[in-house]
Structure 1
Amino acid sequence: MSRNSPGQAKPVHRVRGVDHAAFPTFDPNATVRFYRDVLKFPIVHSICAAGWGPERHPDFIHFFFDIGNGDRLAFFYYFGWSPQGDQTAPGDAWARLPHGTPEFFKNSRHIALNVGDEEDLLEYRRRLDESQWPVEMQVMHETIESIYTHDPNGYMLEITRQLRPVAPQEDLDAQLTIAALCDVTAGEAPSMDKLLTRKAELIVERAAAWEAEQPGWREAQRELI
């Protein structure tokens, strides 16, 4: 998208499109197989959140698929939490949410809109704060800064700006994280600790193959010592 020339006023409408749409998943293995393996959307980012949020908030993984044109599709997997026990029909789970379902789970289904810079983000904060729907949170994430509110229908809306480009190494880290997530959720009592342990094992298992694909890497490391 072209930027405004120096001195030219920015338009009233500053959103550049969808950054990501997000949903909870009850079955990360099936989710990864469907979006990555069947539809061929690569995994491009993940966040491991342990001890995050208000009291009794479960540990979770937030992972993203690249669906083209700079847009992403994201999912949350919450360790040890399910809205209604057996999730043999996850497609129906949202309609069966019991009374008292935590807000964090309801808010996991949201849309994030992208803006170009801090000025645009703060302009939307000003507009919201002067309305009936003021900003509820402003959060600095790993690679983005976001503001959040709920629209008149009760849906969470996120407006976000990128803080820095995502490095290829971070995409590789995300792929290892989701491989570990699929492994541990295929077993009993998955947890963040089990995921991190399995991820470390995958790093060791794949290190030799990675080094073989990087000519001169070992020699370069010795020169740094």
Structure 2
Amino acid sequence: MSSQYSEQHLSRGVDHAAFPTFDPVGTVTFYRDVLKFPVVHSICAAGWGPDKHPDFIHFFFDIGNGDRLAFFYYFGLQPYGDQSAPGDSWARFDEDVPVFFRNSRHLALHVDSEEDLLEYRRRLDDSQWPCEMQVMHETIESIYTHDPNGYMVEITRALRPVTPQEDLDAQLTLEALCDVVSAGDASLDTLLARKAELIVDKAVAWEREHAALEVDR
């Protein structure tokens, strides 16, 4: 690749996120009829992929802002695992794995206002997939349900803008996390201790930089 692109952020966001479904009727009803996301594209695929790859339908919903949500329905393929429990049937975990870990795989959709959020809650509560919880997080408010495939769906609104200071805090947190995981000593305590060290290091570097600027003036 040309050097002019080497440092550029070329992504323009999500084109689509895709999941398998064993229940295309329920999936269309949930996303098209309840959430009002129009169907915008579909692919009828026969003989695609390697040997013994089943024929499938690949269909897309417009979820706003140019983003799409897509599903695969494979003909003749049956679900497996405990279908009574919410969760991705293609990524079943051991029964001892807690529900919160299963639900870490989810789709989050953004809305602009409390009014929009409550409208989606109304639509869900009027359907067979009612809102399961409404949570006020640190900077967002969200409602949650499970779609007909067992995938957790979150609809969220921002309570306030995220500040540059919070962006920096996130960068330091992830740097500390990578450090303690790489060292084989990962815990919340070791992460916070390493993060404190990074804060001190960056503060010292900042002071040196600004002291040098003062000398140059």
- Please point out which of 107, 110, 133 is paired with 1:137: 133
1:166 partner letter: V
User: Relative to structure 1, is the Cα distance of residues 164 and 173 closer, same or farther in structure 2, using a 3 angstrom cutoff?
Assistant: same
Distance 1:135 1:199, change over 3 A: same
Shift of the 157–177 alpha-carbon distance from structure 1 to 2, 3 Å rule, reads same
TM-score (norm 2): 0.53
Is 2:95 aligned against 1:99? Answer: yes
Q: In structure 1, what is the Cα distance between the partners aligned to 2:210 and 2:178? A: 27
Identity, in percent, stands at: 73
The 1:96–1:136 alpha-carbon spacing in structure 2 relative to 1, beyond 3 Å, is: closer
The answer to whether residue 128 in structure 2 is matched with residue 108 in structure 1 is: no
Q: Distance in 2 between matches of 1:139 and 1:160?
A: 9
Deviation at 1:99, TM superposition (A): 2.8
> Which residue is 1:199 aligned to?
195
Q: Which has the higher contact order (CA 8 A, sep 6+)?
A: 1
CA-based RMSD: 2.8
Give the SS at the match of 2:95.
coil
Go from structure 1 to structure 2 and tell me whether the alpha carbon gap of 1:154 and 1:214 turns closer, same or farther (over 3 Å shift). Answer: farther
Distance, in Å, in 2 between the alignment partners of 1:214 and 1:144 is: 36
Secondary structure (helix, strand or coil) at the match of 1:138 reads: strand
Q: Which residue of 2 aligns with 1:180?
A: 176
Amino acid at match of 2:183: G
Matches within 5 A, 1:1-225: 95=91, 97-212=93-208
Asked if the contact 2:176/2:191 (under 8 Å) is kept, the reply is yes
C-alpha distance in structure 2 between counterparts of 1:140 and 1:214, whole Å: 40
Q: Distance in 2 between matches of 1:171 and 1:135?
A: 31
SS at match of 2:141: strand
Larger C-alpha radius of gyration, 1 or 2? 2
Is the 2:93–2:102 contact (alpha carbons within 8 Å) kept by the matching residues of 1? no
Query: Which one-letter code corresponds to 1:113 in the other structure?
Result: L
What 5-or-longer segments of structure 1 have no aligned partner? 1-16, 22-68, 72-93, 219-225
CA–CA distance in 2 between the matches of 1:211 and 1:138?
Answer: 44
Superposed displacement of residue 210, structure 1: 2.6
Give me the TM-score of the superposition, normalised by structure 1: 0.52
How many residues are matched?
129
Q: Which amino acid aligns with 2:103?
A: N
Q: Please state how far the C-alpha of 1:142 moved relative to its aligned partner.
A: 1.4
| Structure 2 unaligned regions, length at least 5 | 1-12, 18-64, 68-89
1:32 maps to what in 2? none
Distance 1:107 1:172 in 2: 28
Q: Secondary structure at the match of 1:133?
A: coil
Compared with structure 1, are the counterparts of its residues 161 and 214 closer, same or farther at alpha carbon in structure 2 (3 Å cutoff)?
farther
Q: Partner letter of residue 108 of structure 1? A: S
Q: How far off its partner does 1:136 sit?
A: 1.0
Q: Secondary structure at the match of 2:195?
A: helix
Residue 187 of structure 1 and its aligned partner are, at CA, apart by 2.2
Q: Residues 198 and 112 (structure 1 numbering): CA distance in 2 closer, same or farther, change over 3 Å?
A: same
Distance in 2, matches of 1:106 and 1:204, equals 37
Question: Which residue identity does 1:109 align to in structure 2?
Answer: R
